Structure 1
Amino acid sequence: MVPDVLAPATLGPVSLRNRVIKAATFEGRTPDGLVSDALVDFHVSFARGGVGMTTVAYLAVSAEGRTHGAQIHVRETALPGLTRLADAVHAEGCAINGQLGHAGPVANGRSNGVHAITASRMPNPLSMQMMHAATEADLARITRSYAWAARLLVRAGFDCLEIHMAHSYLISAFLAPRLNRRRDRWGGCLENRARLARQVAQAVRDEVGDEVAVIAKFSLSDGFTGGLGTAEAIEVAAWLESDGTLDALELSGGSSLMNPMYLFRGDAPRRQFTAAMPLPVRIGLRTIGRRFLRQYPYQEAFFLDKARRFRSRLTMPLVLLGGISRLDTMRRAMAEGFEYVAVGRALLRDPNLVNHLATGTGFTACIHCNRCVPTIYDAAGTRCTVPDQRVE
């Protein structure tokens, strides 16, 4: 029987009022690296708008794992704000998901005040510094940090933990041959490159047990030569399934470091991206902008073809992401065997989209211009910048 996407469901031990998840989109509302009133309001708007669960993006498990200095680093001083955020979302009848990650090569070491680390030594285009190759001690520490951060989010009242294994963040960088040139037990063959992903997932599950749901954002394709391709990604996903550490996989793609527009599709707002960057990066984008910010035509459910290959191989629950903005697309995902859908830009455009769809009065007003994406660097925070008029 095909589930109703707008009917109550469960995700591991968590009850959801529907199967629509607000996907993680960096909020740009933590200027002090802590939960702010603006961040609370941001997530309450989606909770009030009807989603089953909202995702707090980019909660770094260590100081050097932040994308930049204003990102939340999960630690005791962040606990009161995280608790207040979870309570506010719950008051609207919505579950809350915390995306735990280590940015790896996507981290800006100058902004963080500590050098970034990644799988193999390489230059960082954001900080103009060399990034260090993670040592055995680093990887042991980071794995413990994931578990410790998971426990803190449980203390804060979060319902779900999302381990970030995509977009060339640290775990994703280890999976990609081009970014992982190691010759030790963490590099070379796919099993070695997948070791960190499996180790972190196991550590988080061991820490929290069945108290909350544990899922992972996982690349079905990195979208660049030498990145993780779909065939290898399916093998890693099968290992994660056999490990029994996850309640679901959220299938994403692209690389914040190598090919960000592979995830977004639609227009590539190069001028807005360039204007939002610090001067050295701005100069570089003017030179290579068209190669870095490639333009891919938008279509609904643009990851569906690749995601079907995961669905045919795996039995674990899957979250379909990528161009999900219409009710018929959500129902199609359910009919094809996906248990949940994740929505990002369409909800930035209309936080009340799910309520509108449920009453039959709504349609997406998102025009896929992607001008919301550069606003993650804006003092006003991530938002839709299109004038408030609905477009069929």
Structure 2
Amino acid sequence: MGNSKLFTPVTFGPLTLRNRTIRSAAFESMCPGNAPSDMLLDYHRSVAAGGIGMTTVAYAAVTRSGLSFDRQLWMRPEIIPGLRKLTDAIHAEGAATGIQLGHCGNMSHKSICGCTPVGASGGFNLYSPTFVRGLRADELPEMARAYGRSVNLAREAGFDAVEIHAGHGYLISQFLSPSTNHRKDEFGGSLQNRMRFMDMVMEEVMKAAGSDMAVLVKMNMRDGFRGGMEMDETMQVAKRLEQSGAHGLVLSGGFVSKAPMYVMRGEMPIRSMTHYMTCWWLKYGVRMAGKWMIPAVPFKEAYFLEDALKFRAELKMPLIYVGGLVSRSKIDEVLDDGFDAVQMARALLNEPGFVNRMRDEENARCNCRHSNYCIARMYSIEMACHQHLGEELPACLKREIERIEAKG
């Protein structure tokens, strides 16, 4: 315990955190009207009070077309005062605060984003059922500038860091991955071409971040399905991000549209997920086809570590480990392996004070039992852990959760 790095400060660019823990940008679904709510503030304040080094507000779309849910943040001047209240509350608890900026690309629907969804290439998105339009090359500089503008808004709102989302099958990732990029112009084909849009975004982001904002980038080490990116290419993406001046990389994997449980591991509780859905045909469609649409991937602690260690060996820049951390001993092991910080989400939803408890207990382990109920409900209502619900769960959902937890 004496030589643990966990409670030592760590620096990313201009930002120093009080310890090496970061609340990862897991979608909270607490932003009705695409604006911050008291619920969002209370949740992040509780994590900050629980000892975290930095808490990250999830997924703020850089343009309206980048929204994938109607309870998601959209970065625009009107919401800055609300975000300022949130960052002030987090800073008052001694934690730093970051915000994840992204664009969902084709993972949306006109009813949410107000237009025909856009992506690296046109086509049909089965999950929203909707047609998607490929972005024209002349639209890309403006899209990249939207990321830069969002960085400036984040600064105005009091954030210390931004996390650019370049993974999980969202827009930047749709350009990078050969499975979603079928372009015939200079933005498609070779990996060099597929990285061009990311390069444009990073140039705008680093310019906007200047010398006082930390820039982290979340990226995929593997897309997690056949035909997606593998490590030979993602390693080159990481090296390009290192060259671009990013202050740290968050190493993740998976595609929300094709391999969602590769990102989160475990099984998706389909009954729970459909229970909260309001759209009747989607409810029944997912209930019938859910097991096939969202295949389970076994959970194991620190499930991305083996891949992440290969990136650690090749890169000099700060790296942040994310994926399946629930115990103090595993977190110490990851930090000893040379990662600069760790990110967690489900552990902190289960126990916002987990970081403080780790300070006192060498064998601290959070009580998350990996039913993924929290994820199942966030598609419709706010993310919450079933162990802390105010309301009583219907018997069918309880049974489902017990069955999944018993497997774990």
By the TM > 0.5 criterion, same fold? yes
After TM superposition, the structure 1 = structure 2 runs for residues 91-240 of structure 1, keeping only pairs within 5 Å, are 91-240=92-241
Give the structure 2 partner of residue 372 of structure 1: 374
In 2: Cα distance, 1:175 partner to 1:224 partner: 14
1:105/1:124 contact within 8 Å kept: yes
Point out the more displaced range, 234-243 or 141-150. 234-243
Kindly provide the amino acid, as one letter, of the partner of residue 377 in structure 1.
Answer: Y
- Corresponding residue SS for 2:189: coil
Give the structure 2 partner of residue 83 of structure 1: 84
Could you list the per-position Cα deviations for residues 145-182 of structure 1 after superposition, in whole angstroms to 9, with x for gaps in the alignment?
00001001011110001000011100011111111100
Give the structure 2 partner of residue 32 of structure 1: 33
Q: Give how far 1:309 is off.
A: 1.0
1:111/1:127 contact within 8 Å kept: no
Q: Give how far 1:3 is off.
A: 6.2
1:248/1:319 contact within 8 Å kept: yes
After TM superposition, the structure 1 = structure 2 runs for residues 231-380 of structure 1, keeping only pairs within 5 Å, are 231-244=232-245, 246-277=246-277, 278-360=279-361, 362-379=364-381
- Corresponding residue SS for 1:316: coil
- Corresponding residue SS for 1:4: coil
- Corresponding residue SS for 2:249: strand
Q: Give how far 1:16 is off.
A: 0.7
Could you list the per-position Cα deviations for residues 200-227 of structure 1 after superposition, in whole angstroms to 9, with x for gaps in the alignment?
1121001121211001010111111222
- Number of equivalenced pairs: 388
Kindly provide the amino acid, as one letter, of the partner of residue 81 in structure 2.
Answer: P
Q: Give how far 1:287 is off.
A: 4.0
Q: Give how far 1:142 is off.
A: 1.1
With normalisation by structure 1, the TM-score equals: 0.95
In 1: Cα distance, 2:75 partner to 2:324 partner: 30
Q: Give how far 1:293 is off.
A: 1.3
In 2: Cα distance, 1:337 partner to 1:222 partner: 24
Kindly provide the amino acid, as one letter, of the partner of residue 192 in structure 1.
Answer: N
- Corresponding residue SS for 1:96: strand
Kindly provide the amino acid, as one letter, of the partner of residue 302 in structure 2.
Answer: A
In 1: Cα distance, 2:17 partner to 2:26 partner: 20
Identity level (%): 38
Is residue 2:386 matched to residue 1:385?
A: yes
CA RMSD of aligned residues (A): 1.8
In 2: Cα distance, 1:8 partner to 1:84 partner: 25
After TM superposition, the structure 1 = structure 2 runs for residues 49-64 of structure 1, keeping only pairs within 5 Å, are 49-64=50-65
Q: Give how far 1:378 is off.
A: 3.8
In 2: Cα distance, 1:243 partner to 1:147 partner: 14
Could you list the per-position Cα deviations for residues 30-61 of structure 1 after superposition, in whole angstroms to 9, with x for gaps in the alignment?
11211111110010010001110000001000
With normalisation by structure 2, the TM-score equals: 0.91
Q: Give how far 1:114 is off.
A: 1.6
In 2: Cα distance, 1:365 partner to 1:382 partner: 17
Point out the more displaced range, 207-216 or 282-291. 282-291
2:56/2:99 contact within 8 Å kept: yes
Q: Which runs of 4+ in 1 moved over 6 A?
A: none
In 2: Cα distance, 1:89 partner to 1:286 partner: 39
Kindly provide the amino acid, as one letter, of the partner of residue 56 in structure 1.
Answer: V
1:213/1:247 contact within 8 Å kept: yes
In 1: Cα distance, 2:314 partner to 2:225 partner: 24
Could you list the per-position Cα deviations for residues 183-202 of structure 1 after superposition, in whole angstroms to 9, with x for gaps in the alignment?
11111111111111122112
In 1: Cα distance, 2:36 partner to 2:262 partner: 30
Q: What runs of 5+ residues in structure 1 fail to find an aligned partner?
A: none
